Structure 1
Amino acid sequence: MRPVVAALAGVLTVGLLSGCGQGAGNAEGALQIGVMLFNTDLPAYAPLTAGIKAKADELGVQVDIQNGQLDPARQAQLVQQFVTQRKDAIVISASDADAIVPAVRQANAANIPVLGVTNDIGDGAQRLTYVGSDNVAFGEILARGALEATRPDAKVAVILGALGTTSERERTEGIEKFVAAHPGMQIIAKQSANWDNAQALKVGQDLLSKYPPGTLDAIICEGPEGAAAAKYAASAGRTDVKFIVGDTSQDVMAQLEAGTITATAFQNFFDQGGTALQYAVDAASGKEGDVPQPDAYAPIDLYTVADVAKIPANSLF
């Protein structure tokens, strides 16, 4: 439980009484929601953004989506800009959970509700809720997929996401937690690919070169960029190494069907975007009691080829 959440109810109440939600948006007749996404160039942010926009159209609110460009300083500036513009609520996906805290405090001081989406906000600032996966559980699911696809004494390598992001830190924690609970398993290598396809391919090539057949059972990639490494492994005849990847892109789904990827941890970014926007509107409308707190965790599932038909098209990127 986050200790600051209980205090937030009082902050929001004061804000509503003192004019929170009466900014530029209401002057024009529609709520104004600011959304800061740490890097809209990431493929996974396409369905997330689409979900936000679809829900905004459904609810008749105006949404201002800004790209943080993987730069913590820019992300803080964008949140500060939303505060200056008196947005009715702010939704944040920060690349660094702790670095965004001072900017969120400014929103708190202005009585503007703040929500996290996909990546959480660090301690020391008040946010109403976090919409996204439980990333520790996500990491555990990935490690379970590796165990089920290989053997009890499996040797695994992990391709990490961007170091310092909430999802990277917590997914790594989950993987390590699962492995620690299964003493036969062993993590023999970890390296970041920064959620980037080209970097993941290079890391995968390096791992397969370093660990010949019989010395590596599985590669766990915390994001969908592991598809690039999996495709290379198949072309190089390294079918001895099983690939388990986080999140489900079109390429990942195609490789599930082809058998080059064994399993994927699936979450629906489109739904998460729409849910975050809905809760932001609820908070801005004085209905923060309708918002699950302190977290609104989204479903996560381990999918194999048998589950491809379950994957909705709007979730793919």
Structure 2
Amino acid sequence: MDKKWLAAAAVLMGILIYLFVGFAYHSGKMSSIVKELQGHQGNGTKRYHIVLIEQERYHPYWEMVEKGAEEAAEEYGIDIEFAGAVRNNMDEQLNLLEKAIAARVDAIIVQGLNEEKFTPLINKAVGRGIPVVTIDTDAPNSQRLAYVGTDNVAAGESLGHLVVETTGGSGKIGVIIGSDLAASQLQRLDGLMQVVGQYSGMEIVAVRSSNISHMEAIQQAAQMLREHPEINVMVGTSATDALGMLQAAKSLRRDELTIIGFDNQKETLNAIRSGEIKGTVAQQPYLMGGTAVKLLYDHFQGKQLLPEYYTEVKVLDRSNVQEEESL
């Protein structure tokens, strides 16, 4: 009888041990799943959620910004969301910025397109504990954490020097800027005018805005050339402007027109190789996106940041355009 009791007790003890081990294993697995669902990585650090608000979704320039940001986010274990107007629209950008603040995301990357309109919202985000990095266009009087992008006045000066070198310091110039509301575009125009103004043989005859639209760049360039047939040099300050000017020149049979652009779209580089566009000042949007995300990661780790991080520009013409690799 004692032997049967002992055998039964041993079996019962074995069952209890098996159940305990199974419970411990599944409890540990469930805890791991819960942590993952709560947004934690294996090293126990918080997985942050940030938003990058673009000037225009699916625009080639912003696609490069997005690619750089996405790859950096993957490297640093950050969830990143991209938002932007289908077509350039400042009010829509402001609305998206409001929504990101209301959603209480962990950080925001956004342009400071207009100091008067963007600064109050950037400060609102910071006041609610949401750090903001400005990209491409700064809002220096806001409480933003840092700015990443081109020194736009200096980029405009580089554009001016390229115009002078290409034309020999003489010509009637028509300028297409991306937007007459964006600080970055106006700063580039200012830098361009400062250089061109030093040469008595050069004159800026007209300035128009393309509203960051290829079609509008074509229309504005064509209208400018009709109204000012004396223009023999055209300069663009945003990514699609030179291509629009080239198409307008072809339609009006203005083959002698000297065209100088901005940024490094594939089509622009091809036109430089063929000699249809004389040169361009290329920004580094891929680097901008990656740097902005890295800075937020450093901030989350408690590191002190500088107020500005300028990405360099590169002047490209037929002599060195083959060196430029499209991302």
Measured against the shorter chain, the TM-score band is 0.7 to 0.9
Q: Tell me which residue corresponds to 1:218.
A: 233
Q: Tell me which residue corresponds to 1:262.
A: 278
Q: Tell me which residue corresponds to 1:16.
A: none
* Residue 299 of structure 1: how far off its partner (Å): 0.7
Matched length: 285
- 2:276 is matched by which residue type in structure 1? T
Which region of structure 1 is more displaced relative to structure 2, 84-93 or 266-275?
84-93
* Residue 174 of structure 1: how far off its partner (Å): 0.9
Question: What CA distance in whole angstroms lies between the structure 1 residues aligned with 2:320 and 2:227?
Answer: 33
Q: Tell me which residue corresponds to 2:73.
A: 56
Q: Is the 8 A contact 1:49 1:273 kept in 2?
A: yes
Q: Is the 8 A contact 2:185 2:238 kept in 1?
A: no
1:34 paired to 2:34:
no
Which of residues 76, 80, 90 is equivalent to 2:98?
80
Which region of structure 1 is more displaced relative to structure 2, 195-204 or 261-270?
195-204
Q: Tell me which residue corresponds to 1:178.
A: 195
- Cα deviation 1:30-68 (Å, max 9, x = unaligned): 111121112224321111111111111111110122114
* Residue 236 of structure 1: how far off its partner (Å): 4.6
Q: Tell me which residue corresponds to 1:302.
A: 315
* Residue 277 of structure 1: how far off its partner (Å): 0.9
Which of residues 263, 288, 304 is equivalent to 1:247?
263
Q: Tell me which residue corresponds to 2:186.
A: 169
Q: Is the 8 A contact 1:160 1:172 kept in 2?
A: yes
Higher relative contact order, structure no. (Cα contacts within 8 Å, ≥ 6 residues apart): 1
Whichever of the two has the greater Rg, that structure is: 2
Q: Tell me which residue corresponds to 2:177.
A: 160
Q: Tell me which residue corresponds to 2:131.
A: 113
Q: Is the 8 A contact 1:39 1:68 kept in 2?
A: yes
- 1:245 is matched by which residue type in structure 2? G
Q: Name the CA shift for 1:45/1:143 in 2 (closer, same or farther; >3 Å).
A: same
Question: What CA distance in whole angstroms lies between the structure 2 residues aligned with 1:122 and 1:294?
Answer: 9
SS at match of 1:44: helix
SS at match of 1:99: helix
Question: What CA distance in whole angstroms lies between the structure 2 residues aligned with 1:159 and 1:126?
Answer: 32
Q: Tell me which residue corresponds to 1:65.
A: 82
Question: What CA distance in whole angstroms lies between the structure 2 residues aligned with 1:285 and 1:78?
Answer: 27
Question: What CA distance in whole angstroms lies between the structure 2 residues aligned with 1:68 and 1:122?
Answer: 24
Q: What's the TM-score once normalised by structure 1's chain length?
A: 0.83
Q: Tell me which residue corresponds to 2:114.
A: 96
* Residue 183 of structure 1: how far off its partner (Å): 3.2
* Residue 217 of structure 1: how far off its partner (Å): 2.8
SS at match of 2:159: helix
SS at match of 1:223: coil
Structure 2: stretches of 5+ with no match in the other structure: 1-37
- 1:107 is matched by which residue type in structure 2? A
Q: Tell me which residue corresponds to 2:146.
A: 129
1:228 paired to 2:244:
yes
Q: Name the CA shift for 1:97/1:312 in 2 (closer, same or farther; >3 Å).
A: farther
- 1:45 is matched by which residue type in structure 2? W
Q: Is the 8 A contact 2:113 2:139 kept in 1?
A: no
* Residue 224 of structure 1: how far off its partner (Å): 2.6
Q: Name the CA shift for 1:153/1:74 in 2 (closer, same or farther; >3 Å).
A: closer
Q: Tell me which residue corresponds to 2:34.
A: none
Identity between Structure 1 and Structure 2 (%): 25
Q: Tell me which residue corresponds to 2:20.
A: none
- 2:312 is matched by which residue type in structure 1? P
Q: What's the TM-score once normalised by structure 2's chain length?
A: 0.80
- 1:90 is matched by which residue type in structure 2? I
Q: Is the 8 A contact 1:157 1:189 kept in 2?
A: yes
Question: What CA distance in whole angstroms lies between the structure 2 residues aligned with 1:28 and 1:73?
Answer: 36
Q: Name the CA shift for 1:74/1:204 in 2 (closer, same or farther; >3 Å).
A: closer
Q: Name the CA shift for 1:235/1:71 in 2 (closer, same or farther; >3 Å).
A: closer
Question: What CA distance in whole angstroms lies between the structure 2 residues aligned with 1:209 and 1:74?
Answer: 34
- 2:237 is matched by which residue type in structure 1? E
Question: What CA distance in whole angstroms lies between the structure 2 residues aligned with 1:25 and 1:138?
Answer: 41
- 1:300 is matched by which residue type in structure 2? V
* Residue 28 of structure 1: how far off its partner (Å): 8.8
SS at match of 2:116: coil
SS at match of 2:238: coil
- Cα deviation 1:150-175 (Å, max 9, x = unaligned): 13232211012111112211111111
Q: Tell me which residue corresponds to 1:192.
A: 209
- Cα deviation 1:97-144 (Å, max 9, x = unaligned): 431112111112123221111122252x21121111111111112222
Q: Tell me which residue corresponds to 2:224.
A: 207
Which region of structure 1 is more displaced relative to structure 2, 237-246 or 129-138?
237-246
Structure 1 vs Structure 2 CA RMSD: 2.1
Q: Name the CA shift for 1:71/1:205 in 2 (closer, same or farther; >3 Å).
A: closer
